[in-house]
Amino acid sequence: MAIEPQALLQALQTVLDPLTGRDFVSTKALKNLQIHGAEVSFEVDLGYPAQSLWPELGQALRGAAQTVAGVGQVQVHWQTRIVAHQVAAPTVPALEQVKNIVAVASGKGGVGKSTTAVNLALALAAEGAKVGVLDADIYGPSVPTMLGLQGQKPESLDGKTMEPLLKHGLQVMSIGFLIKPDDAMIWRGPMATQALEQLLRQSNWQALDYLIVDLPPGTGDIHLTMAQRVPLTAALIVTTPQDVALQDARKGIRMFEKVGVPILGLVENMAMHVCSRCGHAEAVFGLEGGQRLAAEMGLQCLATLPLALAIREQADRGEPIVVAAPEGELAAQYRRLALRTAAALSLLGRDYSSKLGALKVQSHP
């Protein structure tokens, strides 16, 4: 019995991407459908890195295809096709080797922004993306410590540009590589913003899908520089559930809205502390404050992360939890954050799925 291609496509269209809510047929992510007797094969191009989801989604697609009469073996081939999305300041020169720049910001210091930025970058890399980290916290760079790169200096092969340092699969640049650890950065706004632009544009980034920028806390000159003079794609906000932190997070959200930078969502950090000895759970900084703020501001709550001793210990050791315990529950939470962040970014700007080519169906007796 010959397999009807249209019936097969209709069956495959019932499977939805759990993160975007869209099917793979109408978005043209499903390509090169081939039918060889009872055997079916096709490719799926995802616009964000999600290698951990491939087995589950592949099983769902195979199951849908096999509901069609005559279908036997089904092969699903996965590809990740991350594109550059529209930037907030389109007149700003692009970085040729960087597709998307995502700022990680917080209105208040001490909410775990840098820890979140580093683990987010590592989780994106674990899902198959090429990722860089720019430590833009000029006054308090902590990325070198968190990635175990203290005391190292970037090389310059031409005397004009710098080579990012490499660690755990990430390309990394920080002002912390260029100053002594105990030096205080007593810089006025123009000097700090100039230093940020030099770090960004004079670093030899290599074919990055995402550059994660760890911003300083607050809403100052560096934030305006990022919005107006850097090809910024989007931002995400990190806060704790505490009322004081939420007030400042709200200001950060308003700032990005005023300068036209899309906000992918909000991360509620240190939401719950679970005692490592007795297992007692306690909302040290309040309960669900970040989730309420996200709902109030019309944003997605991308993750609710715990206050966990292991996260702090591993960051201090230069081995963040995502690489120190990749199979653990804490790493899994950062992986889920990475998936939701990348999926939200993939929906921004123009629809690039039209550039993937028309769907071709080939039938063979």
Identify whether 30 is part of a domain. yes
Would you write out the chain's pLDDT as a tens digit for each of its 365 residues?
A: 688 999 999 999 999 999 999 999 999 999 999 999 999 999 999 999 999 999 999 999 999 999 999 999 999 999 999 999 988 777 888 898 999 999 999 988 889 999 999 999 999 999 999 999 999 887 788 999 999 999 899 999 888 899 999 999 999 999 888 877 666 665 666 677 777 888 899 999 999 999 999 998 887 777 877 778 889 999 999 999 999 999 999 999 999 998 889 999 999 999 988 787 787 888 888 888 999 999 999 999 999 999 999 999 999 999 999 999 999 999 999 999 999 999 999 999 753 333 334 444 455 55
Does 265 count as an annotated binding residue?
A: no
Is-contact 259 224, C-beta < 8 A?
Answer: yes
Cβ within 8 Å of residue 112, ≥6 positions away: 238, 240, 269, 270, 305
Kind and range of the H or E run holding 238: strand 234-239
Is 108 known to sit in a ligand binding site?
Answer: yes
Asked whether residue 39 falls in the same domain as residue 102, the answer is no
The reply to whether 356 and 311 lie within a common domain is no
Q: Do 68 and 210 belong together in one domain?
A: no
Does 111 appear as a known binding residue?
yes
Q: How high is the pLDDT of residue 236?
A: 96
- pTM of model > 0.85: yes
Indicate if 296 and 152 belong to the same structural domain: yes
pLDDT given for residue 354 in this prediction:
33
Task: State the pLDDT at residue 130.
Answer: 98
CATH of the domain at 355: 3.30.300.130
Any domain includes 88 = no
> How many domains does the chain fold into?
2
**261 CB contacts (<8 Å, ≥6 apart)?**
88, 103, 227, 232, 234, 235
| CATH number, domain containing residue 163 | 3.40.50.300
158 belongs to a structural domain: yes
Asked if 201 contacts 229 with a C-beta cutoff of 8 angstroms, the reply is no
Are both 217 and 294 inside the same structural domain? yes
- Domain span at residue 164 reads 98-346
Q: Is 41 annotated as a binding residue?
A: no
114 is in an annotated binding site: yes
Q: Does the residue 243 lie in any domain?
A: yes
pLDDT for position 275: 80
Residue 92 covered by a domain: no
Same domain? 185 vs 291: yes
For residue 72, say whether it is annotated as part of any ligand binding site. Answer: no
Do 267 and 341 share a structural domain?
A: yes
